[in-house]
Chains A and B, each alone.
Chain A
Amino acid sequence: DAKTTQPDSMESTEGETVHLPCSHATISGNEYIYWYRQVPLQGPEYVTHGLQQNTTNSMAFLAIASDRKSSTLILPHVSLRDAAVYHCILRGSSGQKLVFGQGTILKVYL
């Protein structure tokens, strides 16, 4: 049911900036783009979300294409703690469930 497509895995080195892509060609006008990440033995952690405009917070920058058919989560200066599975998810209203796919495994090396 996942409506997004992400690469299976990506690798980076500490201190680098990572760009995690997500395709969502069939996104609806009322759907927001959410990003979560999960490390083993913990629940998913909210990272960021956006509708149309790029957004930024202390964790990441979310770049949304002008046609909204793709987005990129940008993680500046990654550390080992950023190693996780990153999920890109579409959701309309707050009453709707999140549909998780396999996500992107981000590996970070020293």
Chain B
Amino acid sequence: NSKVIQTPRYLVKGQGQKAKMRCIPEKGHPVVFWYQQNKNNEFKFLINFQNQEVLQQIDMTEKRFSAECPSNSPCSLEIQSSEAGDSALYLCASSPWGGGAEQFFGPGTRLTVL
């Protein structure tokens, strides 16, 4: 069973507001991923980290989204100015390092932008 913790479970924001969500990866997992799952259940990769360093991120993340994984603190994903199209389930996953490692998901933060 996954031990990835995500908070809050639900988040409601108005357009233009900041939206911040947090993730505590499983202990000992240096790799953290953020995904967005829209209302059509389609997944979109946003960004991933190895420890505190960004491994890969998409353009959307570079412009309005910011994310970090500081040492000894939860990882976070923040939308600087929320838009209606950002309404989705935001999933955090963590993984040990090494070929064939499992990636475990948290329950997600469901963001609704009014």
Chain A residues with CB under 8 Å of chain B are 30, 32, 34, 36, 42-46, 49, 51, 85, 91-95, 97-100, 102
Q: State the CA gap A92–B100 with chains docked (Å).
A: 7
Q: Given A30-B99, A97-B45, A100-B43, A42 and B31 touching (CB < 8 A)?
A: no
Report the number of A-B residue pairs with Cβ-Cβ less than 8 Å: 64
Q: State the CA gap A92–B101 with chains docked (Å).
A: 9
CB-contact partner of A92 in B33, B35, B48, B99, under 8 A: B99
Chain B residues with CB under 8 Å of chain A are 2, 4, 31, 33, 35, 41-43, 45, 48, 50, 55-56, 89, 91, 93, 95-108
Contact B98 A94 (CB under 8 A): yes
Contact A46 B91 (CB under 8 A): no
19 contacts between A and B (CB under 8 A): A32-B99, A32-B100, A43-B89, A43-B91, A44-B91, A44-B105, A45-B2, A45-B105, A46-B105, A49-B102, A94-B31, A94-B98, A95-B31, A95-B55, A98-B35, A98-B43, A98-B103, A99-B43, A100-B43
